[in-house]
Each structure stands twice: as C-alpha cells, then as structure tokens.
Amino acid sequence: MVTHDRYFLDKVTNKILEISHGQLYGYEGNYSKFLEMKAQREEMELASERKRQSVLRMELEWAKRGCRARSTKQKARLERLDALKNAGGPVKDQTVELESPETRMGKKTVELHHVSKSYGDKKLIEDFSYIVLKNQRLGIIGPNGCGKSTLLKIMAGLLEPDEGRVETGETIRMGYFAQEVPDMNTEQRVIDYVKDIAEYIPTKDGKITASQMLERFLFTPDMQYAPVSKLSGGEKKRLYLLGILQAAPNFLVLDEASNDIDIPTITILEDYLTSFPGIVVTVSHDRYFLDNVSDRIFEFDGSGHLQQYEGGYTDYLEAKERQMSLLDDRESIDKIVGNEEKKTLKKDWKQNHSVKLKFSYKEQKEYETINEDIEALEEKIAHLEDDIMSNATNSAKLSELTEKKEQIEEELEEKMERWVYLSDLAEKIEAQKN
Ligand SMILES: Nc1ncnc2c1ncn2[C@@H]1O[C@H](COP(=O)(O)OP(=O)(O)OP(=O)(O)O)[C@@H](O)[C@H]1O
Ligand SMILES: [Mg+2]
C-alpha cells in the first residue's frame, strides 16, 4: 500500500520501502522502526561525510606543507584528495526552516462560556466552558460525527452555539483550515493564489515572500507558475494550508490538516507549528501529528461532554490506560506511581549527566605528537624507497625492504585514521566549550 497515514503504517506494515532522491531503500519494520533506521542511515552518511571532510582537511594540510609528491604513495594521496573533493556529500532530504510570523496577542484570546450545540435531537456539545490560553496547543479527538468540526467552527466564530457564548479577543487573527478544501479558482496560477492572500509575511527576521513560502512548502518554481487545476488533490490541500499560514494568523484552527498530506509536508507543518508563536487547535486522527503539535487533548465522551488530558496523544493513551487499570485494580496504583517516579528519576539523572567530551591523558599525548609521528613514518618510507632503488638487483634484500616498507605504510595508514579520529574529537571538544 501507499499511504501518508503514519499511524496506519505503524500498525499494519512490517516492511517499508522508501524512495529518496532516486534511490530505493528497504527497511524491515513498521513506521517507527523505519524512522529509527532512516535516522541511523542519515547519521551514518553524515559520519562518513564528516570523515571525508576530515580526511580532506588532513590531505590539504599535507598538500600545503610542500606537496612532496615524489613517491607514488604521495601521488596516490594527491589523487585521492582530488577524488574526495569531487565526491560531494550525502543528499539530505529537503527540510525547511520557517520563521513564524510575529504575533501581537492581547491578554484575551478565545473564551467559550457554557456552550451547547445540537442538530435535531442529537446533542453534540453540552455546556462546554473553556478559556484558551496564550500559546496553547489543543488537540481534539473523537469518532466520526461526534461534533469535532462543529466545535472548531464555534471556536472560530463561524457558527453560533444554541446556548452560551464565545468571546474573542480583539487582537486575535483567526486562521481556519476547513476539513473540506473550499473551491479554488483553478484558472489562477499557484503563485497568484498565495499573493492574493498576502504578498509577504512579516517575521522577526524580515519578510517571507509568497514565492519563498511556496518553495518552503515544496512547490518548485515550475509548479508555482502552473494553474491550480494542474495540482493533485494533496497538493491543492497543501496550497490551501499555506494560504492560511500566509495570512499570518495568531490563532490557528486546523480541521484534519494532516489528511491527504504527504509526510514531508506534515513534517514541515509540524516544524512550522513548533516555532509558531500563537495558539493552535487541531482535530486530527494522526497520532504522530497530535503528539507533535498538542499539549492538551480534549476527547468527546459520546454524551456531549469533553474530557481533558494533559500532553499529546501518547500521554492521553497512557492516561486512559492508567484510568482503566485504576478502576480494575486498586493495588496497581502503587505500581504505577512507583514507575512514574522511576521514570522521572531516570530523566533527571540523564539531564544532569550529559556526556562531556574530553581527551584521555593518552589521547592528549598522542594528539600532541601525531603530526610528527606521521612525518617520521613518511620519511622512513621515502628512505626505504631510495634503498629499494639502489638495491634493484639484490632480490633477497629487495624483498626484505619491500616487506618493511609495506609494514610501515600500514602503520602510516593507521596513524592517519587516528589523526582523523583525534582531530574530529578535538573539534567537538572545542565546539562544546563555546
Ligand atoms: N449543518 C448541519 N446540519 C445538520 N446536521 C449537521 C450539520 N453539520 C453537522 N451535522 C451533524 O452533526 C454531527 C457532527 O458533525 P461534525 O462535522 O462536527 O463531526 P466530526 O466530529 O467533525 O466528524 P468527522 O470525524 O467525520 O469529521 C454529524 O452527525 C453531522 O451529520
Ligand atoms: Mg470533522
């Protein structure tokens, strides 16, 4: 199957194929496992890139020190230098850094007072009161048809409640992303759709133009100048979403924004929301998305009431489980409390004991002399090469010299590896100091 639904992927797959920059990668496992292994793969690629850079630095250093390229070994090294320079680093997936717009928000945001709403004899929301706090991230969950979209519309001021009232602060700029993408003018070019909303978004560090915004949301220049009618369903939804962000809201209401949207785009949206300095209310069935963008979950309980849970979706699940087991068995209380304590203890310990990089005494000594050691070995090799030349007719001597030379070359290779490791470490230590 092909799907963007990470929760679903997590549940039903045991092997994942990823297409990335023209390469196909296979991963044994579900989506979580895939994420883990992909991170590992990228980490490995980065590590070998770091090593490449390091070797490159080392080789340049040697080249600068007089380029003694007489021996074949040294010539080979210079060739290796060229190859390294031309190799290029790993291709990273495109990630996007978005500055969020500046928001000026007064004290009052959105307040719901004793809100009720029914359709016919179906009571969706009953006497719901809530004051949304600044920078709050609310997630709303519940089965199809329970009234999630209805609640969002009431919050956004698009629908009147039957009873109660909604008060909205004067500084609130509402951005409402509807569950159904509204009709778009399909003749219009993609870039103009965004420009019609706003030419640019002001941020702390300057302006983001419509075109930059599009680029950041993975619309290539070609796509930007194509008419909206050429876009796929998911791309239209992405455009609709970025149009809402382009209006620089400070209160975002997202009704299933992650549906139909591919994972890179969701990741971009998640990043954007992380640095978004306003309020976000989301309805989503995407557990990962909820985990990443919400710090409080409201659950429709089936009778028009909303239960509150602190944290993301995973926290909600854990809290639910806890509730269940508390009901089941009073004894389990002790166990749960105990586990929680252990967990926080572990976390605290980790936070207070972050690994501090440093050279061991031996490494320090080694680092101080390694350049000289390498030069000494190189000189030895050069001498041996001269000896080999002058003993060209003495086969016994020749094989002895050659063997010796190979041995020293091996030593040199090892030293160079150490050099890479040590200078890498030295750099990291330096970085940690600053
Ligand atoms: N304008 C309307 N007139 C009559 N009934 C409506 C209206 N809007 C919604 N409903 C009904 O209210 C209920 C809740 O609708 P709502 O769209 O809020 O659900 P939801 O929780 O968002 O569901 P989903 O997960 O499918 O998006 C549904 O049974 C729906 O049929
Ligand atoms: Mg809905």
Report, as an integer, the average pLDDT of 234-245. 91
Are 163 and 307 contained in the same domain?
yes
- Candidate ranges 6-15, 296-305, 345-354; pick with highest mean pLDDT: 296-305
More confidently predicted of 156 and 420: 156
So what's the pLDDT on residue 419?
85
Position 93 scores a pLDDT of 54
Contact between 75 and 69 (Cβ < 8 Å): yes
- Alpha-carbon distance of 116 to 151, in angstroms, equals 10
Computed on alpha carbons and rounded to an integer, the radius of gyration of the chain in Å comes to 31
Which CATH number goes with the domain that contains 266?
A: 3.40.50.300
Cα 281 to Cα 132: distance, rounded to the nearest angstrom: 10
For 264, residues 6+ apart whose C-beta sits below 8 A from its C-beta are 93, 94, 218
Least confident of 284-293, 315-324, 348-357: 348-357
Classify 176 as helix, strand or coil. strand
Query: If you measure from the C-alpha of residue 255 to the centroid of ligand 2, how many angstroms do you get, rounded to a whole number?
Result: 7
Average pLDDT score over residue span 267-271 = 83
Domain check: are 80 and 114 in the same one? no
Greater model confidence, 413 or 119: 119
Is residue 38 in some structural domain? yes
Give the per-residue pLDDT at 397: 85
* Rounded distance between C-alpha atoms, residue 251 and residue 254, angstroms: 10
Distance CA 118, CA 121 (A): 7
- Shared domain for 76 and 163, answered yes or no, is no
pLDDT band at 291 (very low <50, low <70, confident <90, very high): confident
Parent domain of 37? 1-93
**CA angle (137 as vertex; 136, 142 as ends), nearest 5:** 135
Same domain, 307 and 162: yes
Number of domains the chain contains: 3
In a shared domain, residues 192 and 45:
no
Pocket test for ligand 1, best of 121, 123, 124 (most atoms within 8 A of CB): 124
**Which of 93, 125, 147 is the last residue in one of the domains?**
93
The number of the ligand nearest the C-alpha atom of 119 reads: 1
- Of the residues 93, 122, 148, the one at which a domain ends: 93
Question: Is 159 contained in some domain?
Answer: yes
Residue 104 DSSP one-character state: -
Least confident of 3-17, 75-89, 98-112, 347-361: 347-361
How many residues are recorded in the chain?
434
Q: What is the mean pLDDT of the chain?
A: 82
Query: Which residue do the tokens 């700029």 mark?
Result: 173
To test the pocket of ligand 1, the residue of 150, 158, 258, 282 to mutate (highest count of ligand atoms within 8 Å of its CB) is: 150
Alpha helices per DSSP H over 180-262: 190-197, 210-216, 221-224, 233-246
Does a structural domain hold residue 371?
no
Q: Is 293 in the same domain as 168?
A: yes
Predicted confidence at residue 158, as pLDDT, reads 95
At 168, list the tokens. Answer: 């909205």
Report the pLDDT value the prediction gives residue 352, as an integer from 0 to 100: 42
Q: Do residues 117 and 244 share a domain?
A: yes
| 344: Cα separation from own chain's centroid | 25
**pTM score > 0.85 for this model?**
no
The identity of residue 189, as a single letter, is: R
Residue 98 placed within a domain: no
Helix or strand holding residue 120 (H, E): none
> Residue 234 C-alpha to ligand 2 middle, in angstroms?
18
pLDDT of amino acid 100: 61
Cβ count within 10 A of residue 260 = 17
In a domain, 353, yes or no: no
| 173 plus 269 within the same structural domain | yes
Instruction: Specify the pLDDT at position 339.
Output: 54
> For the residues 174-203, what does the mean pLDDT come to?
91
Q: Are residues 127 and 270 in the same domain?
A: yes
- Provide the H-helix boundaries in 261-394: 263-275, 287-293, 313-328, 332-352, 361-390
Query: Measured from the CB, is residue 147 less than 6 Å from ligand 1?
Result: yes
For residues 112-137, give the mean pLDDT.
93
The answer to whether residues 103 and 117 touch, using CB atoms and an 8 Å cutoff, is no
Q: Highest-confidence range of 127-131, 314-318, 430-434, by mean pLDDT?
A: 127-131
CA distances from 221 to 23, 151, 225 (A): 24, 38, 7
Tens of pLDDT, residue by residue over 218-239, are 899 899 999 999 998 889 999 9
Backbone angles phi, psi at 402, to 5 degrees: -65, -45
Q: Tell how far the Cα of 182 is from the centroid of ligand 2, in angstroms.
A: 14
CB 152 within 8 A of CB 176: yes
| H or E element in which residue 296 lies | strand 296-300
The pLDDT > 90 percentage for the chain reads 29
Cα 165 from Cα 342, distance rounded (Å): 45
Domain assignment present for residue 118? The answer is yes
Q: Which of 40, 68, 93 is the last residue of a domain?
A: 93
List pLDDT tens digits, range 298-346: 999 888 899 999 888 888 888 888 877 776 655 444 455 555 544 554 4
CA–CA distance, 409 with 414 (Å, rounded to integer): 9
Query: Is the CB of residue 236 below 6 angstroms from any atom belonging to ligand 1?
Result: no
Do 291 and 331 share a structural domain?
yes
Identify whether residues 230 and 125 lie together within a single domain: yes
Asked if residue 140 is part of any domain, the answer here is: yes
Considering the domain architecture, whether residues 310 and 387 belong to the same structural domain is answered as no
For position 165, what pLDDT does the model report? Answer: 96
Q: What is the DSSP string of 189-212?
A: BHHHHHHHH-SEEEETTEEEEHHH
Two structure tokens written together for 62: 């040697």
Q: Is residue 104 in a domain?
A: no
